[in-house]
Structures are given as C-alpha cells and as structure tokens.
Amino acid sequence: MTKIIKVQKGTKDILPQEVEQWHKLEKNALDIFTRYRYKEIRTPIFEATELFARGVGDTTDIVNKEMYTFEKSDRSITLRPENTAGVVRSFIENGMARLSAPVKLWYKGPMFRYERPQAGRQRQFHQVGVEMFGIKEPAADAEVILLAVDYLKSLGLNDLEVEINSLGCPECREEYKKKIKEVLKPEFDNLCEDCRNRYEKNPLRLLDCKVDSCKEIFAKPEIQEVIQSDFICEECAEHYRAVKSYLDKLKIKYVENKLLVRGLDYYNRTVFEIKSNNLGSQNAVCGGGRYDSLVKNLGGEDTPAVGWAMGMERLNSLLPEIEPEKSDGYIVSNSPADALELAEELRGQGLKIEFDLANKKFTKQLEKASKIAKFALILGEDEINTGKVSIKNLSTSKQVTVDRKEVTSEIKG
Ligand code: ATP
Ligand code: MG
C-alpha cells in the first residue's frame, strides 16, 4: 500500500470545523484595530537571517535555538519566528518615519519556531499583533495595552490577568544587571546551563528561567531583595507611574511582576503579558512592550515604538466552540434544472442555499433539509407550474406557499 504522508511534528491543519473560530479572531482584529486607526501590514514569511539576529537579539532562545534557517543561493534565510523585526524592516525600508506620528500597524500570520511541541506550543503557530511607532509618551503604552484588553473583551475573554513591569532604560538597567550578577555569583555553579550562559551576556533573562532549581535560587531572601529593589531612574519611574495611572483610570486591572523580563532583547521601560488561568503551563496569550532602540539598531532613524503579539492558537483554545451555521434554505425538488435556477436566484439575494445535487427521493431530501437548514424550499411539480415555492419552517414545521420572488422576504421575516 502507498505510504501516507503525515503533517509535520509541531504543525497542524486548521480544519473546516475549526475555521469559523479563526474567522472570528480575524474579523474582530480588523474591527477593533480599525477603530483604533491601525492599518494592516503584510510582510514576507521569510527574511534575511541577520534581521532576526540583530532585531530579536543573539542572546535570545529564539535566535539561538528556535530559528528555521536555510541557505539559498549563498544567502542565509530564516522563516520569521516573530514579526516585529519584519515590520520594523519594512517601516525603515519604506520611509514610514516620514509619515506623521503615530504610525500604527497590525499584522496576523504564521510564525515558525523550532521548539519542543507540547500543549500550547507549536512549531508553526499564528500571531496577531500591533506596533505603534513614533510616540515616546506613556499614553502610547496605555493605549496599546487598552487595545489588547478591548480585543480580548470583544472575543468574550474577560477574566485574564495583565502583568506589567518596567525594565528601565539601558543606562539604569546597567546598574541593576550588575547587582543581579553580584548577588547570583555565589550561586553560579548551581544555576542551569542556560542561566550560566546568560549570566554574562544577558543577566536579566535569568529571572525568566522556568527551571525549578533556578526558581528556588531566585526565591532566596537576599536575591529577592535585589530583584524587588527599585532600580529604575527617575525619568523611567515617572513614565512607569504614568502608564499605571492611565490603566487605573481605565479600570484595567494589572499586577506588577518584577520577574517579567520577556524573552526578547529589545525591550525597554514598559513590558507586559496577559495570562489566562485556563491554559495550563503555557498560559501567556499576549506579550509586548516598548522597544525604543530597535528602529535605530536596524539602521533607521531614532523612533520610539511599542507593541504586542498574541498567540492565536492559545486564544482559540479559550474561545467557546462555534456551532456550525445552518443554511438559510435547502431546496427540495426532483427537477435539478429548476433547483439550480432557484438556488442561483436566492444566492444572488444573499441567502445561503443548498440542494440535493444527487437528485434523491423527496423524503430523503426533506430529512437532510431538517438537519442542515432553517427552511425547506419545496419545489414540486405544482409549484414549478404555478411559479411558487412552498416554504417549510423547519423549527416550527409551519408551511406556506409564496410567489418565487417573495421567498427571500418570507425567509428573512
Ligand atoms: P513563551 O514564554 O510562551 O515561550 P514567548 O515569550 O516566546 O512566550 P512571544 O515571543 O512574546 O512569546 O510571543 C507572543 C505570544 O505568542 C505568546 O504569548 C504566545 O501566546 C504565542 N506563542 C509564542 N510561541 C508559541 C508557540 N511556539 N506556539 C504557540 N504559541 C506561541
Ligand atoms: Mg518562547
């Protein structure tokens, strides 16, 4: 027998019975983001590897372990693991810094990370995200968080938790990094291998470690004292206070979490995540923050920016299942030519119409209609000869006979 080829590990088909939920995610994104005056941008799925090495940061797990990279005509290409770097590349390349600020962009699409597949973690997954360029003021951070919360609310997701932190600026963070390294020095040999590697290059990332033995070390009082200390400079603190006061005013509940450092290198000041308790261990649906240095680091003009990305599979698993939609009408007839003609007419008026292409017995057709449609549209010999249609309401069993041109108004009520 011919061998069956299966879907790749960590990837999934989105099947017809699931696709309505995806449509909902996408439709609400377009609706809500448009209200906030964001415009959609669609960038390529692969980019130069260097873009991610520089844009995401070469001390991150994404760049070190998770990228799908290949050579083609002597070029190193990578399937995008996230889309901020791609959007920033496009922003620079298309001279969007010249547009009047803020420039507000959103995207959706597949991302690729070579991770260990598990619940809530795939190798091809989808993100929807927003990026706002050109505003350094804290109102931008607050509006971007408000947008995330509004979008989640539109999907019926209210019981989510916003976590927030400030990473300060590169200057004030330097001091904090030094202190963290100092207090962790005696524990160096007890840290996991990843943490030992990050210790020099990116000590803040240690706080994000998910390994139990590391978490125990970070829980020690003398280490907690450093982690919990207020290290950010007055300017950064002022920005952070303003963001929080706007969120208070908007009645957006949040918790401050000093361990929230986010996986990517490019964040400064505000970082945030939105979590659900209904997701098990991969419980973050949204991650984002401010990245004021990225545009410049990638060769553009100095442009502040803030944004977030949400995992669409994780969002999907929180949505209630959507019942398959019924057809408006199922034409019951033994004259395919007349059924085709009526179907064409009614579809043209916007109705969702099916009929029996295999021309089965009347009773079989009625049976099928009662399962999949709201109305049976009976087109027997009498009806055909008199230019009428008998309409049976399949939830009340009431039947009326009307002129063909009145079918749509009868159904729509
Ligand atoms: P995590 O800590 O879960 O690995 P991350 O920091 O790598 O998250 P981001 O890069 O911030 O995640 O991506 C934003 C969102 O995209 C996450 O909150 C999550 O919902 C989703 N996401 C990230 N990686 C995956 C994946 N491999 N499979 C499914 N969804 C993912
Ligand atoms: Mg990750």
Side-chain half-sphere of 380: how many Cα atoms within 13 Å?
10
Prediction pTM value: 0.92
- Find, among 253, 252, 270, the residue nearest to 261 by Cα: 270
Closest ligand 1 atom number to CA of residue 284: 18
Measured in whole angstroms, the distance separating CA 201 from the mean position of its chain's CA atoms is 30
Listing from the earlier edge strand, what are the strands of the sheet with 68-72? 46-48, 75-79, 68-72
Question: Among the residues of 101-192, which ranges form H helices?
Answer: 138-154, 170-184
pLDDT of residue 110: 98
Residue nearest to atom 27 of ligand 1 (CA): 121
Ligand nearest to the CA of 80: 1
> Residue 385 phi/psi, 5° resolution?
-70, -25
Q: Are 117 and 124 in contact (CB under 8 A)?
A: no
pLDDT of residue 84: 97
Residue nearest to atom 24 of ligand 1 (CA): 121
Looking at mean pLDDT, say which of 157-161, 207-211, 243-247 comes out highest: 243-247
CA 292 – CA 387 distance, rounded (Å): 69
pLDDT of residue 371: 96
pLDDT of residue 210: 83
Give residue 96's pLDDT band: very low, low, confident or very high (50, 70, 90): very high
Give residue 263's pLDDT band: very low, low, confident or very high (50, 70, 90): low
121-125, 157-161, 393-397 — which is least confidently predicted?
157-161
Across the range 29-57, mean pLDDT stands at 96
Residue ranges lining ligand 1, Cβ < 6 Å? 82, 113, 115, 120-122, 125, 127, 263, 282, 284-287, 309-311, 313-314
Residue nearest to atom 8 of ligand 1 (CA): 284
Closest ligand 1 atom number to CA of residue 314: 20
User: Strands 161-166 and 103-112, how do they pair?
Assistant: unpaired
Q: Are 377 and 389 in contact (CB under 8 A)?
A: yes
- Find, among 292, 284, 250, the residue nearest to 146 by Cα: 250
Closest ligand 1 atom number to CA of residue 309: 14
Ligand nearest to the CA of 274: 1
Tokens coding 80 = 């995008």
Q: Encode burial over 315-337: b for 16+ CB neighbours within 10 A, e otherwise.
A: bbbbeeeeeeebbbbbbbbbbee
Closest ligand 1 atom number to CA of residue 82: 10
Going along 222-360, which residue ranges are E strands? 254-256, 268-275, 284-290, 305-311, 327-333, 353-355
